[in-house]
Amino acid sequence: MEVVICKTYEDVSRAAAQVVAETLNEKPDAVLGLATGSTPLGLYKELIRMHTEEGLDFSHVTTFNLDEYVGLPHDHPQSYYYFMWENLFKHINVPVENIHVPSGTANNYKAFCQWYEDQIDEYGGIDLQVLGIGSDGHIAFNEPSSSLMSRTRLKTLTEQTINDNARFFDKKEDVPVYSITMGVGTILDAERLILLANGEGKADAVVAAIEGPVSSMITASALQLHPDSIFFLDEPAAGKLQMRDYYDWIQKKKPGAPGT
Ligand code: PGA
């Protein structure tokens, strides 16, 4: 696990975009796992800039999103499909048929979830998965007590998540109670994971995920089990880390870093 502490949110976004760009340079037909929420907005803005100004090409890329609210169709302004379309997909050249976001309106959710897992397999698995972290330590909608081996499934949101996400809706009662989410096990199968976090509100979840025990109570702590995961944090999100000096030391001593 690598911990990269950046000065600002913009630096977090740029550093994460660099990893996405490197992945696409190495493998133009990479499979990207994508996340919604406030956190990755800066990353998506930077990817759009790289596409527009530097020709970063998404024409062979396939995407799989982490989760979706149950009950919201693609064209609902609070659906995650709509979010992805407005904030990334419509601005880049990823073919629409290569985009996968879990359906919030499937007739048979169990069958849909199995199909989603099978689709990921069919495309050869996810090369790079982008993650945020909830204030309750969740990744995707894997709320506390989710099995660390869980697969894509229907999941009931915690009240904390509903409260956190109410800011996107007219009123709290409008936030769906159920979601379809990739499982922790699904996420851990990706080749590489990058988790972005910014702001003081994430500091407790971040320290629990990085320095606490691996626990289903903080599903982001499962990243400790992954051989290639990077946390990109801004200063406030990193504010409670005990081993801060060591993470900075590692970055300074990295081969190629100035002074090494
Ligand atoms: P946020 O959500 O980026 O809107 O803070 C993160 C999450 O819940 O995973």
Give the residue, 258 or 49, on which the prediction is more confident: 49
What per-residue confidence (pLDDT) applies to 258?
64
User: Quick check: is 150 in a domain?
Assistant: yes
Count up the domains in the chain and report the number. 1
112 alpha carbon – ligand 1 mean position (Å): 24
| Residue 180 domain flag | yes
CB under 8 Å to 49, separation ≥6 — which residues? none
Determine, yes or no, domain membership for 260.
no
How far apart CA 205 and CA 89 sit, in angstroms, is: 29
| Residue nearest to ligand 1 atom 8, measured at CA | 134
Q: Number of helices and strands (H, E) in the chain?
A: 9, 10
Helices (H), the chain: 9-26, 41-54, 80-87, 109-122, 159-165, 184-188, 203-211, 235-238, 244-253
CATH number of the domain residue 63 falls in? 3.40.50.1360
256, pLDDT greater than 90: no
The residues, ordered by sequence, that sit 6+ positions from 122 with a Cβ below 8 Å of its Cβ are: none
**Among 136, 164, 191, 234, the one annotated catalytic:** 136
Mean pLDDT on 112-136: 98
Q: Is residue 142 in some structural domain?
A: yes
How large is the average pLDDT for residues 157-186?
95
CA of residue 141 to ligand 1 center, whole Å: 10
Ligand 1 center from residue 181 Cα (angstroms): 14
Please report whether residue 124 resides in a domain: yes
Instruction: Report the alpha-carbon distance of residue 130 to residue 43 in Å, rounded.
Output: 10
pLDDT at 200: 98
205 domain residue, yes or no: yes
Instruction: Give residue ranges with CB within 6 A of ligand 1.
Output: 37-39, 132-134
Task: For residue 34, tell me if it sits in a domain.
Answer: yes
Per the prediction, the chain carries an average pLDDT of 96
* Domain limits for position 169: 2-255
pTM for the model stands at 0.96
Instruction: Indicate if 121 belongs to the active site.
Output: no
Q: Per the domain annotation, does 176 fall within a domain?
A: yes
